[in-house]
Amino acid sequence: MPVNFFPAEFDVVRNTDKCIKCRACERQCSNEVHFYDADFDKMLTRDAQCVDCQRCVCICPTGALKIVPNPNDFRKSPNYTHQLMIENYRQAGTGAVLLSSMGTPKEYPIYWDKILINASQVTNPSIDPLREPMETKVFLGKKPAGIRKNPDGSVCTKIDPYLELSTPIMFSAMSYGSISKNAHESLARAAEELGIYYNTGEGGLHRDFYRYGANTIVQVASGRFGVFKDYLDTGAAIEIKMGQGAKPGIGGHLPGQKIGEDVSRTRMIPMGTDAISPAPHHDIYSIEDLRQLIFSLKEATEYTKPVIVKIAAVHNVAAIASGIARSGADIIAIDGFRGGTGAAPTRIRDNVGIPIELALAAVDQRLRDEGIRNEVSIVAAGSVRCSSDVVKAIALGADAVYIATPALLALGCHLCRTCHSGKCNWGIATQRPDLVKRLNPEVGYKRLVNLVHAWDHEIKEIMGGMGINSVEALRGNRLMLRGIGLTQKELDILGIRHAGE
């Protein structure tokens, strides 16, 4: 065996006083880290195979396991970090593009954490959401600019198609293929029970889930996988995916080994072939082309469903959003660069795009300046991590948010960031039948419902504190926000004042 240039990333530490050799860790590790040795009568480990998914730690009945970073380190350099050195070693070994999953772990600024929320004192008193009504319902779509009249003089009550959400949270696009059928079912059932929406991603819609159509956003991406009439007709809204925050400028890539019989049928591609979405939509090279696709889809569905255009947050996002708002889209989804993914080239994930907070503020401001903010709703995505992030996003101008990573956490994900291996021990980002069954949707959907309910409670608490009793009244209300530790430029872009001002 050639010299291994880098040591195991993690140490699997077993307390042998506690270990009862039940071998649950061994049975539950798809990376084959744990094994029983009969000669020693002991459980042993292959540390180098550990991805720190914590499945064994969580399932160990006696709490005998711990996974810690391997303390062994290369000679310190702030420039050539341990991680960079390993990545170069790895590439020198494989000659391949580095792949990663989930959101970037790099230490970019997180503006959510540099924004503080206001609360009422004395005047404009705060509201107790347990005693007084508090509205979190929102509608996404075009809002009429004024009262219109029919030729006979009566008021026109016909409005454009819209989505109605019980709370301003939706589950963002995760395709069947990148995640398991059970994960998809959990999302679909939770969306139905919550009165919100989940998003198919670009993998089509499994026949078993057509029954959740009223709570489904069907996505049309550059690969057009699984797109056909029934699919479009089934969804409550159609989303055109132009870009994704985790990998702006490139398309999705689902490796062939994840394309089994069911995924193949759903995506309408042969089994075992890589599902590679082109970087661009080959029929879209301008806003006018985008408009053609939007209206093709509207035409196909007889103008009954709102169309969402999803873009990655990139440098000139405000101008792009302005174009989209004028292209006929009903909703713009903006995906920040810290958002997750089932697989992305590491260098792109870690270096391309901009934070959602800045992009959102810029887009909202631009559309207002141009007087077209009512033409579209804005959905913020890409690392909305908790209810206070939701509140801040709405105050920065969002109508609603997309969440995905928190949804995965609810299903058991421990952010080990190895989705691309297809060996997810939590049964989420895998198609291996023995792993898929680890996620019982009966359990999964209830946890998702719990999570969103909990966030909804917190949103109401926070809004109440500000003396605001509806999401409508919070949207774009940047006076409720203050920056902390931000430069004047950052404050200007965010459109907020500094704390103390």
Partner 1 sequence: MKRVYVNEDWCLGCHLCEFYCAFANSGETDMSKAFKLGRNAAPRIRIEEGDGINFAVSCRHCQDPACVKGCIAGALSINNGVIEINKDKCVGCYTCVLSCPYGCIVIDPQNDGMTVTKCELCTRNNAGEPACAANCPNRAIVYEERGEA
Give residues in contact with partner 1 (CB under 8 A): 17-24, 27-28, 59, 61-62, 64, 433-434, 437-440, 442-443
Q: How far is the CB of 57 from partner 1 (least distance, A)?
A: 13
Q: Smaller CB distance to partner 1: residue 142 or 438?
A: 438
How crowded is the C-beta side of 26, counted as CA atoms within 13 Å? 13
Is residue 404 within 8 A of residue 171, CB to CB? The reply is yes
Pairing of strands 65-69, 10-14: antiparallel
Tokens 């057009």 belong to 224
CB of 419 to partner 1, least distance (A): 20
From the CB of 405, what's the least distance to partner 1, in Å?
Answer: 22
Phi, psi torsion values for 333, nearest 5 degrees? -105, 130
Nearer to partner 1, 134 or 439 (CB): 439
Q: Which is nearer to partner 1, 398 or 449 (CB)?
A: 449
Single-letter amino acid code for the residue at 422: G
Nearer to partner 1, 420 or 438 (CB): 438
Rounded CA-CA distance 265/226 in Å is 8
Q: Indicate the Cα dihedral angle 311, 315, 318, 320, nearest 10°.
A: -50
Minimum distance from residue 218 beta carbon to partner 1 (Å): 27
Provide, rounded to whole angstroms, the least separation between the CB of residue 426 and partner 1: 11
Give me the least distance between CB of 27 and partner 1, in Å please: 5
**Between residues 159 and 443, which has the closer beta carbon with respect to partner 1?**
443
The count of residues in the chain is 501
Terminal C-alpha separation, the chain: 64
Which H helix or E strand runs over 45?
strand 42-45
HEC string of 235-298 equals CCEEEEECCCCCCCCCCCEECHHHCCHHHHHHHCCCCCCCEECCCCCCCCCCHHHHHHHHHHHH
How far apart are CB 66 and partner 1 at their closest, in Å? 15
Closer by beta carbon to partner 1, 288 or else 434: 434
Considering the complex, state which of residue 15 and residue 124 has its C-beta at the smaller distance from partner 1: 15
Q: Around Cβ 396, how many Cβ atoms within 10 Å? A: 31
> Comparing C-alpha atoms, which of 76, 100, 69, 90 is closest to residue 340?
100
Secondary structure of residue 14 in the 3-state scheme:
strand
CB of 187 to partner 1, least distance (A): 18
- Report the nearest approach of partner 1 to the CB of residue 183 (Å): 14
Look at residue 367 and give its three-state secondary structure: helix
> Cβ of residue 30: shortest distance to partner 1, in angstroms?
12
Q: Which is nearer to partner 1, 291 or 423 (CB)?
A: 423
- For partner 1, give the closer residue by CB, 443 or 484: 443
- Which of 150/440 has CB closer to partner 1? 440
Q: Which of 403, 433, 427, 431 is nearest to 413 (CA)?
A: 427
Beta strand segments in 279-370, E: 307-312, 331-335, 344-345
- Least Cα distance to 392 among 7, 25, 112 occurs for 112
Q: How far is the CB of 314 from partner 1 (least distance, A)?
A: 41
Tokens of 273: 């072939």
CA distance 267 to 227: 8
CB of 180 or CB of 199, closer to partner 1: 180
- As measured in angstroms, the least distance from the Cβ of 442 to partner 1 is 6
Residue appearing with tokens 């705060």: 126
Single out the residue of 245, 253, 456, 447 nearest to residue 352, CA to CA. 245
Would the CA dihedral through 160, 161, 166, 169 be positive or negative? Answer: negative
Helices (H) and strands (E) in the chain, counts: 16, 21
CB closer to partner 1, 21 vs 282: 21
User: CB atoms < 10 A from the CB of 299, how many?
Assistant: 9
